[in-house]
Amino acid sequence: MTAAIPDLRHRTAVVTGATGGMGQVIAAALVDAGAHVVTVARDPARADMLRARIGADSRHRLDVISGDLSRRADLRTAARIIEDRYEQVHILVNNAGAHFPDHRVSPDGVEMHVALDYLAACGLMTHLDAALRRGRARIVNVASDTLNDTRRIKLAGRPRPPTLDLTHVDDLADLNPRAGFVPFEAYARAKLMTVTAGYALAPSFATDGVTVNAVHPGIVATGIIDDLIPPALRPFGTLVRRTMLTPAEGAATALRIATDPGLAGVTGRYFDKGSVAATPPISHDPAVQRKLLALTEAHFAR
């Protein structure tokens, strides 16, 4: 896979979630291609595992900033450090994400899927704005096709995207409330928000040569998957994992969108593995996009 990645010497890539399944592969492949890779990690032991994977010869091209990306203060600090250290960011892969099996609230009062699967991605796009524009960056948001269909088992019926009704929402803390909480839908809604925000930011970024795309990597055997396997299938977990993509196979889509010279200038798209795919109409609604960005700006202004 690395063979297909162009020479990335003198390029800076920010990759979140690089201590886990796909992110580790993405970070290692970008370092192998010559890039300087920056990540934000919350667990020093997991950061050490990433360093071990990168290897002693290239480790000087890995910069680990400590922080929990679901926390507003940590995100702001990490973004400030990145902008202080790097004049330009050429690649941003917003890959950190998780599925939470129950209702949890971040220290900022926001439901955890919103905090991590949406705000970490949108927060880095907006807080790194200047460095991304100077680097004419490619931004890749690792989403999930749950944004098109929240059915756990797709044997009957039609695809059921998550709802995203911002009409009476005054604060992102109002989203994914405890009452009626369905974890899989909350996760899907946060991914839909990330794709929607990417579409909203793409036109302005395009004026400086920055592209913003999102990907569904496929169903990949990583840390997140144990929680996502429907309960009825959990006794067969090992067998189920064998039917999934490997982390390297899953990472290939984000790596391609981030580096393939043939995709230069392509922006505002959603890729389901290798192919451009549609997302729910609401993600293209200009009023929803504006409201989402305004709520997000208000969140980070506090």
Ligand X SMILES: NC(=O)c1ccc[n+]([C@@H]2O[C@H](COP(=O)([O-])OP(=O)(O)OC[C@H]3O[C@@H](n4cnc5c(N)ncnc54)[C@H](OP(=O)(O)O)[C@@H]3O)[C@@H](O)[C@H]2O)c1
Dist CA 61 CA 270 (whole Å): 30
Binding of ligand X by 30 (CB under 6 A) = no
Binding of ligand X by 223 (CB under 6 A) = yes
Binding of ligand X by 135 (CB under 6 A) = no
Binding of ligand X by 142 (CB under 6 A) = yes
Find tokens 């044997």 and name the residue: 155
Nearest Cα neighbor of 15 from 2, 25, 4 is: 25
Binding of ligand X by 23 (CB under 6 A) = yes
Dist CA 173 CA 189 (whole Å): 14
Radius of gyration from C-alpha coordinates of the chain? 18
Indicate which single residue of 34, 46, 81, 282 sits in contact with ligand X (rule: CB under 6 A).
46
Mark the segment that binds ligand X (CB under 6 A) among 27-35, 150-158, 216-224, 289-297. Answer: 216-224
Dist CA 11 CA 36 (whole Å): 6
Minimum Å gap between C-beta 170 and ligand X is: 25
Mark the segment that binds ligand X (CB under 6 A) among 147-155, 197-205, 218-226, 292-300. Answer: 218-226
Q: Determine phi and psi for 229, rounding to 5 degrees.
A: -70, 130
Query: Rounded to the nearest 5 degrees, what angle is found at the Cα of 169, between the Cα atoms of 196 and 123?
Result: 45
Indicate which single residue of 22, 131, 172, 186 sits in contact with ligand X (rule: CB under 6 A).
22
Pairing of strands 269-272, 275-277: antiparallel
Mark the segment that binds ligand X (CB under 6 A) among 83-91, 124-132, 161-169, 220-228. Answer: 220-228
Q: Which residues bind ligand X (CB under 6 A)?
A: 17, 19-23, 40, 42-43, 46, 68-70, 95-98, 116, 142, 144, 216-217, 219-220, 222-225
